[in-house]
């Protein structure tokens, strides 16, 4: 089976998921796949594509051991129509818990045959200059493993006549899934006097949770704690307030410092 029709569908507020998927695509021999970046809400509000006889990389970050809710909601509207999927989650060096299994099940329910799955590491969204967790990841080693994962998938596809010959891939996780991130407003970002009203934070936010009319403050009821606005700010004017989230960042830096490596899983091809 050939991979001329390769698409990437991903939610990537801090760019790590997109970077990983694009490197896997390179390993698959595709430098210019079709990309559906659903990070922005205006994109997620559009009608989801229908895939036919394609290979689709589906990726999202892990929030509290689950697929991010906005990504999951969108992925459930995809139409696989028998196309093949590779599912990928990116987590911040703690654990991906049930997220990969959840994403696989969403893909299967959406009509895809899931050929492979992977869990890669990206810098934790709470990582900052004070409390670092998985800084600068994915790094060169991660990207090399993503590329090799793509090569492995390409080899599987070479021996595949039709998607019907896939027996599926087994990935870790439990069902019922663990409880993920709760809903509800929680103020945890301060905007300092260094803010110069450039608007970059608003462009980076995947939830339109930045109030430009109120000195670019955060609309807490919409915030999903992805910290894309903090990482995007060129003036470093957006910071975590002292409180529970800052405490969590400290805990992560102290307890999740040991480097974890990407884990990949390949399905079986029935000959």
**Pair of tokens at residue 205:** 């936010």
Residue 251 resides in a domain = no
Residue 183 resides in a domain = no
Residue 249 resides in a domain = no
Residue 252 resides in a domain = no
Residue 255 resides in a domain = no
Average pLDDT over residues 83-102: 97
Residue 257 resides in a domain = no
Q: What are phi and psi of 140, to 5 degrees?
A: -60, -40
On whether both 24 and 115 belong to a single domain, the answer is yes
Each residue's pLDDT tens digit, 103-154: 999 999 999 999 999 999 999 999 998 999 999 999 999 999 999 999 999 9
d(CA 166, CA 56): 15
On whether both 203 and 162 belong to a single domain, the answer is no
Query: Which residues, including other chains, have CB under 8 Å from residue 237's CB and lie 6 or more apart?
Result: 191, 192, 193, 194, 195, 196
Q: Which domain holds residue 25?
A: 6-177+262-266
On whether both 38 and 172 belong to a single domain, the answer is yes
CATH number at residue 48: 3.40.50.360
On whether both 199 and 114 belong to a single domain, the answer is no
On whether both 34 and 102 belong to a single domain, the answer is yes
Give me the DSSP letters along 129-144: SSS-SSTT-S-HHHHH
**Pair of tokens at residue 250:** 């400290």
CB 63 within 8 A of CB 225: yes
Instruction: Specify the pLDDT at position 168.
Output: 79
pTM for this structure?
0.95
Exposed/middle/buried for 178, CB within 10 Å: 0-12, 13-18, 19+?
middle
On whether both 107 and 152 belong to a single domain, the answer is yes
How many distinct structural domains can be found in the chain? Answer: 2
CB 228 within 8 A of CB 13: yes
Give me the DSSP letters along the chain: ---SSEEEEE--TTSHHHHHHHHHHHHTT-SS-EEEE--SHHHHTSPPPB-SS-EEEEEEEEETTEE-HHHHHHHTT-B-TT-EEEEEEEE-SS--TTHHHHHHHHHHHTT-EEEEEEEEE---TT--SSS-SSTT-S-HHHHHHHHHHHHHHHHHHHT-SSGGGB--------SSPPP-PPPS----EEE-TT-----HHHHH-TT--EEGGGTTEE-TTT--S--HHHHH-TT--EEEPSSHHHHHHHHHHHHS-S----EEEE--B--
**Pair of tokens at residue 201:** 């934070």
Each residue's pLDDT tens digit, 39-77: 999 999 999 999 998 999 999 999 999 999 999 999 999
On whether both 172 and 57 belong to a single domain, the answer is yes
What integer best gives the mean pLDDT of the chain? 93
On whether both 108 and 142 belong to a single domain, the answer is yes
On whether both 26 and 151 belong to a single domain, the answer is yes
On whether both 165 and 205 belong to a single domain, the answer is no
pLDDT-derived band of residue 184, with 50, 70 and 90 as boundaries?
low
Residue 203 resides in a domain = yes
Exposed/middle/buried for 10, CB within 10 Å: 0-12, 13-18, 19+?
buried
Average pLDDT over residues 13-31: 96
CB 158 within 8 A of CB 151: no
On whether both 227 and 163 belong to a single domain, the answer is no
CATH number at residue 203: 3.30.70.20
Average pLDDT over residues 24-48: 94
On whether both 19 and 148 belong to a single domain, the answer is yes
Residue 245 resides in a domain = no
Instruction: Specify the pLDDT at position 1.
Output: 58
């Amino acid at each position: 089976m050939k991979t001329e029709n390769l698409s990437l569908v991903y939610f990537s507020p801090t760019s790590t998921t997109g970077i990983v998927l694009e490197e896997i695509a390179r390993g698959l021999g595709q430098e210019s796949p079709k990309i559906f970046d659903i990070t922005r809400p205006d994109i997620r509000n559009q009608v989801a594509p229908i895939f036919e006889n394609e290979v689709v990389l589906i990726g999202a970050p892990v929030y509290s051991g689950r697929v991010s809710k906005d990504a999951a909601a969108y992925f459930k509207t995809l139409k696989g129509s028998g196309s093949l999927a590779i599912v990928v989650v990116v987590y911040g060096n703690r654990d991906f818990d049930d997220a990969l299994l959840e994403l696989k099940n969403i893909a299967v329910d959406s009509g895809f045959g899931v050929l492979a799955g992977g869990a890669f590491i990206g810098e934790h969204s709470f990582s900052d200059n004070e409390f670092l967790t998985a800084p600068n990841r994915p790094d060169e080693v991660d990207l090399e493993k993503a590329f090799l994962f793509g090569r492995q998938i390409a080899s599987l596809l070479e021996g595949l006549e039709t998607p019907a010959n896939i027996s599926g891939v087994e990935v870790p996780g439990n069902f019922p899934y663990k409880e993920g991130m709760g809903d509800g407003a929680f103020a945890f970002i301060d905007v300092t006097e260094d803010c110069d009203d450039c608007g970059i934070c608003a462009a980076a936010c995947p939830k339109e949770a930045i109030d430009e009319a109120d000195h670019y403050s955060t609309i807490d009821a919409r915030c999903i704690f992805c910290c894309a606005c903090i990482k995007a700010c060129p003036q470093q004017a957006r910071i975590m307030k002292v409180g529970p989230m800052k405490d969590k960042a400290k805990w992560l830096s102290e307890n999740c410092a040991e480097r974890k490596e990407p884990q990949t899983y390949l399905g079986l091809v029935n000959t």
